[in-house]
Amino acid sequence: MKLEILIATNGFKGTWSSIEYGAWLAGVLETNLTLLGITENLNPAELDDHHPLEDLFAEAVEIFQSRGIKYNLEIQNGTVEEILPQKTRQGSYLTVVSPLGRPHLRRLLTGRSIRRLIEQIDDPILYVPEVRLPLKKALICIGGLGYEVTAEHIAMQMAMKSKAEITLLHIIPPMDLDYPTARAVRDSWQNLTQSDTPVGKSLRSTLEIAQADGLTAQVKTRRGNIVEEILSEIKEGNYDLLSMGSAYGGASLRQLYAPNITAEIAVSAQIPTLSAKYKRQE
């Protein structure tokens, strides 16, 4: 099923990044777009007052119309963290969000909104802390177990339409257990694409697909802490887009004791970060 673009804004001026990027993405993927405005903590006494959403919507409509994008406008009252996950369950969306302008104290007490949204939204989500266009270089993280396939597919589409270079990255974390597959990956980490490991096969297959589609592509491997190594690669490579998969949904017990790696990286990387949860085939 073809994904539609869903952009969320609460009127904070920083969410313009998601509107600008989402409009570009709708054109790239040739799909429809919904702009969802969420009025948070609206006081009935302020109903007749000018709301920041009005200005954002007016500017957004100008862009949509000038680019020939088919769009819908929708306004709901509540909080983004509550309303947006509910909205995504009503269709098939690629959700685009930016920082929501939360006070520092609130972030300390409740955590960043993007962490909760990534955990609660099952469909692909693109976090845009700042717009990095044109898209020239994309970093696609490959875990080797197939969890990244959905995000990888979307990122490849974006790269193809933009004629962007792509780098396929695999991180080899510190290994506490010594078993045959782990040893094989560890021993062949500098030439994984030539190995017969699951990771090697996945990297080789994705590289062949990218090259067959006419993309300039390369493979990189790094060893160490996953978050630190991905952030280092982003800084050194000056990428415009990061793509990551996720093995687990928000209801997974693993979320109780494992860090949300995608959210940690999305907040720290400061580049558009695309993620999508792994879904088992029925």
- Point out the domain boundary residue: 73, 99, 127: 127
Asked if pLDDT for residue 205 goes beyond 80, the answer is yes
The span from the first CA to the last CA of the chain, in angstroms, equals 15
Task: State whether 165 and 196 are in the same domain.
Answer: yes
Task: State whether 174 and 232 are in the same domain.
Answer: yes
Task: State whether 57 and 86 are in the same domain.
Answer: yes
Which CATH number goes with the domain that contains 182?
3.40.50.620
Domain assignment present for residue 77? The answer is yes
Note the pLDDT of residue 92.
95
Q: Which of 63-72, 98-107, 199-208 has the highest mean pLDDT?
A: 63-72
Q: Which of 115-124, 127-136, 143-152, 214-223 has the highest mean pLDDT?
A: 127-136
Task: State whether 119 and 246 are in the same domain.
Answer: no
Note the pLDDT of residue 7.
98
Q: Mean of the pLDDT values across residues 93-101? A: 96
Q: Mean of the pLDDT values across residues 76-89? A: 96
Note the pLDDT of residue 143.
74
Lowest mean pLDDT among 16-25, 130-139, 227-236, 261-270: 261-270
Q: Mean of the pLDDT values across residues 227-248? A: 88
With bands split at pLDDT 50, 70 and 90, how would you rate the model's confidence at 258? very low
Evaluate whether 138 touches 164 at the Cβ level (below 8 Å).
yes
d(CA 256, CA 253): 6
Strands (E), the chain: 4-9, 33-39, 71-77, 93-97, 125-127, 137-141, 165-172, 217-223, 241-246, 273-277
Q: pLDDT tens-digit profile of 27-73?
A: 999 999 999 999 987 555 455 566 889 999 999 999 999 999 999 99
User: At residue 201, what are phi and psi to the nearest 5 degrees?
Assistant: -65, -40
Domain assignment present for residue 260? The answer is yes
Task: State whether 160 and 219 are in the same domain.
Answer: yes
Q: What percent of the chain has pLDDT over 70?
A: 80
Strand arrangement, sheet containing 241-246: 71-77, 33-39, 4-9, 93-97, 125-127, 273-277, 241-246, 137-141, 165-172, 217-223
Task: State whether 116 and 8 are in the same domain.
Answer: yes
Q: How many CB atoms lie within 10 A of CB 251?
A: 10
Domain assignment present for residue 132? The answer is no
Q: Domain span at residue 96?
A: 4-127
- Point out the domain boundary residue: 59, 94, 127: 127
Domain assignment present for residue 282? The answer is no
- Joined together, the tokens standing for residue 103 give 């006070």
**DSSP letter (8 states) at residue 227:** H
d(CA 160, CA 154): 10
Domain count within the chain: 2
Q: What percent of the chain has pLDDT over 90?
A: 54
Note the pLDDT of residue 249.
41
CA atoms 164, 21, 115, 249: torsion sign = negative
Task: State whether 96 and 164 are in the same domain.
Answer: no
Task: State whether 123 and 218 are in the same domain.
Answer: no
Asked if pLDDT for residue 190 goes beyond 90, the answer is no
Task: State whether 84 and 209 are in the same domain.
Answer: no
- Point out the domain boundary residue: 92, 127, 162: 127
